[in-house]
A = this chain, B = another copy of it.
């Protein structure tokens, strides 16, 4: 099957590669001509602009946009909307806010164009392992693109089957992608995925922080242990309740750099983590863990907050307390 791909960064480039490996044809574009040249050598049809990309595809066309969320994606889709013909499909594989998907789906539908949003998990490992995809859009259009999604997804692999899963359930979930619902639902599910990811990461972060500080010189000697954090991560990978891919990555990191000195600890966050809290608030769902995880990241990027200083000021006010400087 044929797919146009716009945006050949780490994600878009590897999506093209995985599709070609599975025998699909790609027509590719990126502002950066080096990226286009590289993929052309690997078998893709490189083009110089969007009109050429549209011209290089056979109707009904499918174009996968894999660009940073916000203006880059929005502008590209607007331009594609002018170039494509009724029946063509625009796929947004980036990290778009799901309400933008809903709006775009409605706008493009008025031109007879289909809009598909794909929440894509897999990061740097996707080329090799496949991408886990959550897809929003018309059922029929998703069905039309099934061969592409199947090629990108990890497939059944050697993961044990879920006990009691109904034989009539949609088998796409077991192969690594789902049709979640109408436009926006794919990115909605991916957004929640990332929210959960933040929470799980923070659970590990807090737990290992307690293990680490149990070794600390600041504790009285008779209350201190000398725990090997790398061994702990390793042993939990086998038969424990917390075994998970994030634990595997933790074991990797601790094997290489047990003190984690290579990492700044100023932790970035992206839209999904924030929008998850927003969705929870819209739906009146209590999410103390997901929000705490986001706030821990906000806090990690600051030396001290104005709020902390106000606490010091109040303590001075009522008790004459003068804080000692930060260690």
Contact = CB atoms under 8 A, between A and B. Distances in A.
A281 B294 contact: yes
A64 interface: no
A292 interface: yes
Contact of A293 (B181, B230, B254, B289): B289
A178 B186 CA distance: 42
Q: In the A-B complex, list the 3 residue pairs whose CB atoms are closest, starting with the nearest.
A: A199-B203, A244-B244, A205-B307
Interface in A276-327: 276-321, 323-327
Given A203-B200, A267-B312, A178 B295 contact: no
A226 B260 CA distance: 40
Contacts of A242: 193, 196-197, 200, 244-246
Given A185-B227, A199-B289, 18 more contacts: A132-B235, A154-B239, A193-B242, A199-B202, A200-B244, A205-B306, A205-B307, A207-B276, A208-B306, A213-B284, A249-B313, A250-B314, A253-B316, A266-B304, A266-B327, A267-B323, A287-B295, A289-B292
Contacts of A312: 260, 263-267
Nearest to A194: B241
Size band of the interface chain A makes with B: 35 or more
A256 B314 CA distance: 12
Nearest to A290: B206
A34 interface: no
21 contacts: A126-B239, A130-B238, A134-B232, A153-B238, A164-B252, A165-B255, A172-B235, A180-B228, A195-B203, A199-B289, A200-B200, A201-B314, A205-B305, A213-B284, A242-B245, A249-B318, A254-B313, A260-B312, A266-B308, A267-B308, A277-B291
A255 to B, nearest CB: 4
A174 B233 CA distance: 10
Contacts of A256: 163-164
A288 B290 contact: no
A24 interface: no
A190 B227 CA distance: 12
A208 B312 CA distance: 13
A234 B10 contact: no
Nearest to A197: B241
A227 to B, nearest CB: 6
Interface in A66-92: none
A131 to B, nearest CB: 6
Interface stretch (A37-45, A49-57, A116-124): A116-124
